[in-house]
Amino acid sequence: MINYLWAFMILIGIVVGVLGGNIAEISNATINSSKEAVSLCIAMLGVMSMWTGLMQVAKKTGLVTSFTKALRPIICFLFPDIPKGHIVNEYIASNMIANILGLGWAATPMGLMAMKELKKLNNNSDIASCDMCTLLIVNISSLQLIPVNIIAYRSQYGSINPAEIIVPGIIATTISTLVGVIFATVARKLSKHR
């Protein structure tokens, strides 16, 4: 699916660009985007390493284990196929905690490690397991409680009360997450009955 999606984005973009006379812009965009990706990665290196370093300390002290314990009932409910005490529980808990704290870039490494472990649990199949689908849906539904970056942009552009969107944002996030969880739970049940 990802292969088709990627190919279609490029093909549609180029066809529309030719028809609209934007072909020079497209030429520039391909070159600039690849450069942009590299500079983004270099910028990410420091912050990412800062976080994985801190997480390693937290792991070593057993803090992550106690965070995981606090999240265990929720993770148990969302991911019934994961064996109890498996390392992937810790990865998912860290991923969720980072998402909740609004450290989206920090959630990714933990999420990726969780995916690799889930793949092993799924006999290395190239078909997604129900747990993988749930992890992705919950991640995409946004767990972030305080959108710090958006508040910063709002104040930068002269908002009288930049923080006024926090509570409405929490309500909207809760609704999107609840709908995502309901969808994932129903889809899991349906796929097992088949």
Partner 1 sequence: MNFIVYLSDYIIPFLFFYIIGYSLLTKTSTYDEFIKGAEDGFKVVFDILPTLIGLMIAIGILRSSGALDLLSGTLKPITDFLHFPSELLPITLVKMFSSSAATSLLLDIFKEYGPDSYLGRLVSIILSSTETIFYTLAVYFMAAGVSKTRYTLAGALVSTLAGTIASVLITQLVF
Query: 106 to 165, contacts with partner 1 by CB under 8 A?
Result: 108-109, 111-112, 115-116, 118-119, 125-128, 132-133, 135-137, 139-142, 144, 146-151, 153-154, 157-165
Q: Is 191 in the site for partner 1 (CB under 8 A)?
A: yes
Residue 1 vs 73, nearer CB to partner 1: 1
Q: Which residues contact 55 (CB under 8 A, 6 or more apart)?
A: 64, 94, 106, 110
Residue 6 vs 72, nearer CB to partner 1: 6
Binder among 73, 83, 85, 168 for partner 1 (CB under 8 A): 168
DSSP code per residue over 106-120:
HHHHHHHHHHHHHHH
Q: What is the Cα–Cα distance from 175 to 172, expressed in whole angstroms?
A: 5
Q: Show the CA angle centred on residue 111, arms to residues 135 and 131, nearest 5°.
A: 25
Written as six digits, the tokens of 12 are 């549609």
Q: What is the Cα–Cα distance from 79 to 72, expressed in whole angstroms?
A: 10
Q: Is 101 in the site for partner 1 (CB under 8 A)?
A: yes
Residue 65 vs 76, nearer CB to partner 1: 65
**Minimal distance in Å, beta carbon 163 to partner 1?**
4
Q: Is 44 in the site for partner 1 (CB under 8 A)?
A: yes
Binder among 70, 72, 179, 189 for partner 1 (CB under 8 A): 179
Residue 51 vs 79, nearer CB to partner 1: 51
Orientation angle between helical segments 63-78 and 23-61, nearest 10 degrees: 120
Taking CB under 8 A as the criterion, which residues in 55-94 touch partner 1? Answer: 55-63
Q: Is 172 in the site for partner 1 (CB under 8 A)?
A: yes
**Minimal distance in Å, beta carbon 85 to partner 1?**
21
Q: What is the Cα–Cα distance from 178 to 194, expressed in whole angstroms?
A: 25
Q: Is 22 in the site for partner 1 (CB under 8 A)?
A: yes
Longest dimension (CA), the chain: 60
